[in-house]
């Protein structure tokens, strides 16, 4: 375990944190179990890479990828609200459909490498020659996350943003107040999957250097694990919305750093990544239970001492 390993994990984590924010919006704010993430993540990567290879400006390609992610969220939202299909099944249907869509976009290839200047190339020009890739990823990811948190903080403070939060908090009460919950669910899913597609496009440009049709496998687990780690470690009482977003970003960084450090152990192989992920997720899910039990034990001891 070295500083370079920790830096590598943090650099990956800050890019995955964008996806984590999107997952947080659906599971915690909107209270919708959305599995579209495993399709919209590679969608953002594939659209971005293919457009860059055809000569489109990388920033414009990234923006188009974000819009395509929003369309994926729109599809899931219509299935949920228009056809009354359960959220989990709606997400699965969209995810399955997007696999074929991504293959079409990538011209029937499983992997498409970036063959032209990307956002990373432009970003590297702002730094001295020889700057390490992890430094570029960490800086770009941090700037992107700060801008996203600021934009979401402002948006969810507006009347429309509060209506979306009210829809996720209590749909029946929101309807009684005259809020169109169906529109809010669709809008929330569009914002979430737009961020997830942005994460896919950023990771394709800064980390993978390519788009893979199966790069979305397990992303929902990664997102949820990061959210839970951030909540357990940093959210102990009522905090502001911006603080909670910062906490899940920190959770993503911690998650990827643990993965990077674990893979440096001599008795673990790269093929053990799924096993490591499963263990970390299990521990993250069990942390609230351990935390509550520890608090109960501490309370009993305090009562005995007081008696």
**Tokens 């490498």, residue?**
113
Q: How far apart are CA 150 and CA 270, in angstroms?
A: 37
In residues, how long is the chain? 307
DSSP assignment of 187-226 equals HHHHHHHHHHHHHHHHHIIIIISEEETTTTTTHHHHHHHH
pLDDT in tens, 176-214: 999 999 999 999 999 999 999 999 999 999 999 999 999
* d(C-alpha 261, C-alpha 274), whole Å: 15
Q: Indicate the pLDDT class of residue 71, thresholds 50, 70 and 90.
A: very high
Chain-centre distance of CA 304, in angstroms?
Answer: 45
Against a cut of 0.85, is the pTM above it? Answer: yes
Residue-level pLDDT at 238:
78
Which residues are paired to 111 by β-bridges? 212
**Nearest of 36, 62, 61 to residue 198 by alpha carbon:** 62
Would you tell me how many other CB atoms lie within 10 Å of the CB of residue 181?
19
The whole-number pLDDT of residue 307 equals 64
User: Please, which pLDDT band fits residue 51 given cuts at 50, 70 and 90?
Assistant: very high
In the numeric block, the tokens 């950023």 are attached to: 202
Confidence bin at 1 (pLDDT 50/70/90): low
């Amino acid at each position: 375990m070295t500083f370079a390993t920790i830096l590598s994990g943090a650099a990956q984590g800050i890019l995955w944190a964008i996806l984590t924010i999107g997952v947080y919006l659906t599971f915690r704010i909107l209270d919708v179990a959305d599995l579209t993430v495993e399709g919209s993540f590679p969608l953002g990567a594939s659209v971005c890479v293919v457009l860059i290879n055809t000569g489109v400006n990388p920033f414009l390609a990234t923006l188009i990828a974000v819009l395509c992610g929003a369309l994926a969220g729109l599809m899931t939202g219509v299935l949920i609200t228009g056809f009354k299909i359960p959220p989990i099944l709606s997400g699965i249907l969209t995810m399955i459909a997007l696999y074929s869509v991504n293959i079409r976009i990538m011209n029937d290839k499983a992997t498409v490498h970036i063959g032209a200047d990307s956002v990373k190339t432009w970003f590297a020009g702002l730094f001295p020659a020889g700057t390490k890739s992890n430094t570029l990823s960490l800086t770009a990811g941090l700037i992107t996350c700060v801008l996203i948190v600021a934009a979401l903080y402002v948006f969810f403070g507006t009347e429309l943003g509060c209506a979306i939060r009210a829809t996720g908090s209590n749909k029946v009460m929101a309807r009684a107040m005259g809020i169109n919950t169906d529109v809010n669910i669709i809008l929330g899913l569009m914002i979430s999957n737009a961020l997830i597609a942005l994460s896919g496009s950023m990771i394709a440009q800064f980390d993978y250097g390519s788009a893979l049709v199966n790069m979305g496998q397990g992303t929902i687990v990664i997102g949820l694990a990061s959210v839970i780690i951030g909540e357990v470690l940093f959210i102990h009482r009522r905090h502001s919305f911006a603080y909670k977003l910062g906490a899940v970003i920190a959770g993503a960084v911690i998650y990827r750093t643990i993965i990077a450090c674990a893979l440096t152990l001599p008795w673990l192989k790269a093929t053990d990544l799924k096993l490591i992920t499963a263990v970390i997720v299990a521990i993250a899910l069990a942390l609230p239970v351990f935390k509550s039990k520890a608090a109960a034990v501490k309370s009993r001891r305090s009562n005995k001492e007081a008696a």
